[in-house]
Amino acid sequence: MATKHEQILNYIENLPIGTKISVRAIAKELIVSDGTAYRAIKEAENAGFVSTIERVGTIRIEQKKRDNIEKLTFAEIVNIVDGQVLGGRAGLHKTLNKFVIGAMKLEAMMRYTEKSSLLIVGNRVKAQEQALEAGAAILITGGFDTTDHVKELANSYELPVISCSYDTFTVAAMINRAIYDQLIKKEIVNVDDIYTPIEETTVLKDKDLVEKWHQLNQETNHSRYPVVNMQNKIIGIITSKDIIGKSMSTRIEKVMASDPIVVKPTTSLANAAHTMVWQGIEFMPVVDEHYTIKGVITRQDVIKGLQSSQRQPQIGETLDDLIQKQLFFDEKKQSFTTEVSPQMTNQLGALSYGVFASFVTEVVNQTLQKENTGDMVIENISIFFMRPVQIGSKLNIIPEVLEMGRKFAKLDVQVYSDEELVGKAMVMTQFINR
C-alpha cells in the first residue's frame, strides 16, 4: 500500500497543468498534516512537475524532458527578470522558442513575432494586443502596466503578460545568459540518462532462497543482483562470492552484503564513475529519496555514458571548454603550450589557482589518452607551488609519467613562463577499465 507521501505525489502528478497548489488545500483534500503536504510539494518541485513562483504561488507545470532542457518556460522567465504576472497565468508552464525585442515599427515587429515566442516591449498596447493574437507572450519592460483588454486577451489565450522594472537591453542579456546556462546543463550527463530501469533488470527479495540466485544466473548470465524488501526498498547486494558453499535452502538475507553503496538519478555521471573506481565495484542500485529501487547502473553503462558525453557538441562553453581550446600539444618538445586570457585571471590580474589546477588536470588527461589508457578519474592533485602569472603570458606545460600500472598512474607536471618555473604539481589518477 502506498504511503501518505506517495499518495500526495500521485495526486499532484494527476492534477491538470496550470493548477494552483497550496499546502492547506492538499492537507484538507487528502486528510493529512500540513507538514506532510509541504514535504510532498517540495519533492514534487524537485522532480520538476511543480514550480513555485514569487507573487504567483505554486502551480502544476509540465515536467520537462532532458532533451528539452535548453528551452525555458515562461515561469522561469518570471524568476529570471524578477517579474510580475499581469495576466495569462495558466500559460506559465509553456516553453518559449525565441524572444523578440520590439524596438521597431509595428508591421516590422509582427513579421518576427510568432507562436511560442516572447515579445520584449515597452508600453506599446497595440503591439501587445497583436503579439497575443499571434500566439506570443509579452514581457513589458520599464515597470509599466497594461490595459484590462490586454489582460483579458492574455487570460483567454493562456499566454503570460509579464512586467518587470529592468530596461530592454538588461532583460535581453539576462534571458540570453539563462539560455546559455541551460545549454551547458544539457551537456552534463546524469545517472538518470543512462541507468537500466527496474522493469528491465532483475532483483531478488530478502525472503528468496539461494536456489533462486542459481536460477537467475542460468537465465540471465549475471552474477550480481540487488536485494529488496517487500516495499521494494534496497537492503543489500548479492554476488557469486556470497553464495559459495551456501545451501540452496538458505535465505538471501542471510548471505547478502548489507548497506550497499547506492546512487540517485540526479547524481552526475562523473560522480558515479569516481565512486565505482574508488570503491572497486561493478554496479550500483539507483534509488529515490526513500531508498525505493528505480534500477541499476553498471560500469559498462558509465563507460558508454562518458564516451557519449565526450562526443556531444560543445554549445554552451564552460571554462573547461575554453582551457581545452587554448591548449596546444607540441610533438617535438612533448609539451603543451597556452596563453593566459582575461577570463583565466583573478581580481589581481594573475592566473587564478583554480584555472592552474584545470590546466594541470587537462594536460594529464590528454597525456594519458595518448597512452591509450581509456577513461580516468583524478584521485589526488598536489600543487607544490605556484607563482603569479600575468595576463598575456605564454605557458609551457611539461608532463612526465613517473609511474603507470594497469589501474593507476602518477605524473609530475611542471609549468614554465619565459623559461622560468612558475608552477609544479603531482597528480595521481585511477583508470576506469571494462
Is residue 335, in this structure, part of any structural domain at all? Answer: yes
pTM greater than 0.85 (yes/no): no
Q: Are residues 76 and 41 in the same domain?
A: no
Which CATH number do you get for residue 13? 1.10.10.10
Boundary residue ending a domain (251, 277, 308) = 308
Best CA proximity match to 358, nearest among 387, 394, 315, 326: 326
- The pLDDT of residue 65: 47
Determine contact, residues 49/12, Cβ cutoff 8 Å.
yes
The Cα–Cα gap between 350 and 344 comes to 8
Is residue 314, in this structure, part of any structural domain at all? Answer: no
The Cα–Cα gap between 172 and 181 comes to 14
Q: Scanning the structure block, which residue is given the C-alpha cell 561493478?
A: 282
- The pLDDT of residue 66: 46
* 364-423 per-position pLDDT tens digit: 988 888 876 667 788 899 999 899 888 888 999 999 999 988 888 999 999 999 889 999
The Cα–Cα gap between 428 and 430 comes to 7
DSSP string for residues in 77-113: HHHHTT-EEEE-GGGTT-EESEEEE--S-HHHHHHH-
Which cell numbers in the block locate residue 361?
A: 588536470
Which CATH number do you get for residue 170? 3.40.1390.20
The Cα–Cα gap between 400 and 105 comes to 64
Q: Are residues 222 and 291 in the same domain?
A: yes
Q: Are residues 275 and 231 in the same domain?
A: yes
Please say whether the dihedral angle defined by the alpha carbons of residues 108, 78, 316 and 299, taken in this order, is positive or negative: negative
Q: Are residues 180 and 199 in the same domain?
A: no
The Cα–Cα gap between 310 and 217 comes to 34
Rounded (5°) CA angle 357-362-366: 150
Residue 363's pLDDT band, with cuts at 50, 70 and 90, is very high
The Cα–Cα gap between 172 and 145 comes to 19
* 253-287 per-position pLDDT tens digit: 999 988 899 999 888 887 888 888 778 888 899 99
Q: Are residues 97 and 166 in the same domain?
A: yes
Q: Is the pLDDT of residue 239 over 60?
A: yes
Spatial CB neighbours of 165, under 8 Å, sequence gap ≥ 6: 82, 142, 143
Q: Are residues 143 and 76 in the same domain?
A: yes
- The pLDDT of residue 44: 83
* 80-110 per-position pLDDT tens digit: 888 899 999 888 888 888 888 887 888 888 8
Q: Is the pLDDT of residue 313 over 60?
A: no
Phi, psi of 390 (to 5 degrees): -85, 170
DSSP string for residues in 324-379: HHT-EEETTTTEEEEE--GGGB-TTSBB-HHHHHHHHHHHHHHHHHHTT--EEEEE
The Cα–Cα gap between 329 and 333 comes to 9
3-class state of residue 422 by DSSP: strand
Is residue 358, in this structure, part of any structural domain at all? Answer: yes
Best CA proximity match to 109, nearest among 92, 94, 80, 129: 129
Which cell numbers in the block locate residue 144?
A: 509599466
- The pLDDT of residue 129: 92
Amino acid occupying residue 236: G
3-class state of residue 26 by DSSP: helix
Rounded (5°) CA angle 273-319-402: 55
What is the span of the domain harbouring residue 201?
191-308
The Cα–Cα gap between 161 and 151 comes to 7
Which CATH number do you get for residue 276? 3.10.580.10
**Beta-carbon count within 10 A of 135 CB:** 13
Q: Are residues 163 and 234 in the same domain?
A: no
Boundary residue ending a domain (281, 308, 335) = 308
Best CA proximity match to 260, nearest among 227, 232, 236, 233: 236
Determine contact, residues 399/363, Cβ cutoff 8 Å.
yes
Determine contact, residues 213/238, Cβ cutoff 8 Å.
yes
Q: Is the pLDDT of residue 240 over 50?
A: yes
- The pLDDT of residue 315: 47
Best CA proximity match to 420, nearest among 384, 395, 391: 395
- Count of structural domains within the chain: 4
Boundary residue ending a domain (186, 218, 242) = 186
The Cα–Cα gap between 61 and 68 comes to 14
Per-range mean pLDDT, top range of 33-47, 147-161, 303-317, 347-361: 147-161
Q: Are residues 228 and 271 in the same domain?
A: yes
CA distances from 171 to 50, 78, 123, 134, 200 (A): 25, 11, 15, 22, 46
The Cα–Cα gap between 119 and 49 comes to 26
**Beta-carbon count within 10 A of 355 CB:** 20
